[in-house]
Amino acid sequence: MLSPFTLPGAYAAGEDAIKIAVVGCGGRGTGAVFQAFETGQNIQLVAMADAFKDRLDQSHERILKKYGKDKVLVPEEKKFVGFDGYKEAMKDADVVIIATPPGFRPDHFEEAVRLEKQIFMEKPVATDAIGIRRILAAAETAKAKKLNVVVGLQRHYQDNYIQTIDRIHNGEIGDIIGGQVFWNDGGVWVRERQPGQTEMEYQMRNWYYFNWLCGDHITEQHVHNLDVANWVKNSYPVKAEGTGGRMVRTGKENGEIFDHHVVLFTYDDGTVIHSECRHFPGAHNRVDESFQGTKGKPT
């Protein structure tokens, strides 16, 4: 993870601690806090927010156990539970970690920008066109305010990707004329419905399976591979033709998302990238990207 904690302007000069707040205390939010501490900077966790108290408390316990009371300064009054908790959690922080389900990220990003915080936000940044437009508008405001914003598309910070794509951009394989990108695996967790659980709570705890929260796995997961394709082409598709459906994961516990998608993305120079992602338990897994140029392909 590239960290806003090490970028210029993230905090005042001198020995002052960088104060961070985490919004969304599931596995990704907790992991992002761990990664923040591992940057070696003088960091203090000062506030936490989540829709569910049990998840927040579990995250707090894990972080406190690993880093201790000198680093984790989150008393009960700085644990904010509920849909609006993020507004309070962000106030005292220098850097905000946004790791909630994607459907909530436009709200949380807009607030962090309004408060002029440095921001790490997980991908994807939204689940629909309206959300994306809100993110883009807030990003322009962030630029005007000279805020640091980092999104969790980690391929951009991996040496092997950086080096290989630099070679492609330097023309080693000529002009890109085709490519294939894949995220094919067996799928992710399912959390069983509990007695007395409301439908809202059930969907939020199983956010991956509901489009308003996740955007489907082509958005939430396959975004990494699609990002690499756009990076290689240094542009965005102008046309998409595809299909998808539910063939294997058809139970109620799998919500409403598809279990497979196949899309052909066409760029303005006529290049076609084949895109494939699926969740078929027990089938062959493949998560990678390949590209062909007028001089061959990378080795």
Q: Cα separation of 123 and 4, whole Å?
A: 15
Q: Which residue has the higher pLDDT, 4 or 258?
A: 258
The percent of residues above 70 in pLDDT, for the chain, comes to: 94
pLDDT tens-digit series, residues 119-150: 999 999 999 999 999 999 999 999 999 999 99
Q: Could you give the strand order of the β-sheet that contains 43-50, starting from the edge strand earlier in sequence? A: 79-81, 43-50, 18-23, 95-98, 118-121, 149-151
Q: Model confidence over 162-187: pLDDT tens digits?
A: 999 999 999 999 999 999 999 999 99
Percentages helix, strand, coil for the chain (3-state, rounded to 5) are 40, 25, 40
Does a cis peptide bond (omega within 30 degrees of 0) precede residue 101? no
Task: Give the pLDDT of residue 299.
Answer: 63
pLDDT score of 3 more than 70: no
User: At CA 112, angle to CA 110 and CA 113, rounded to 5?
Assistant: 65
pTM of the model: 0.92
Q: How would CATH label the architecture of 165-293? A: 2-Layer Sandwich (3.30)
Report the pLDDT value the prediction gives residue 296, as an integer from 0 to 100.
Answer: 78
So what's the pLDDT on residue 141?
A: 98
With a cut of 60, say whether residue 13 has pLDDT above it.
no
Q: What is the mean pLDDT of residues 291-298?
A: 86
The residue ranges of every structural domain in the chain are: 4-154, 165-293
Fold annotation for 4-154: Rossmann fold (3.40.50)
- For residue 80, give Cα distances in angstroms to 26, 35, 86: 14, 22, 7
Amino acid letter for position 283: A
Work out the number of other CB atoms within 10 angstroms of the CB of residue 15.
6
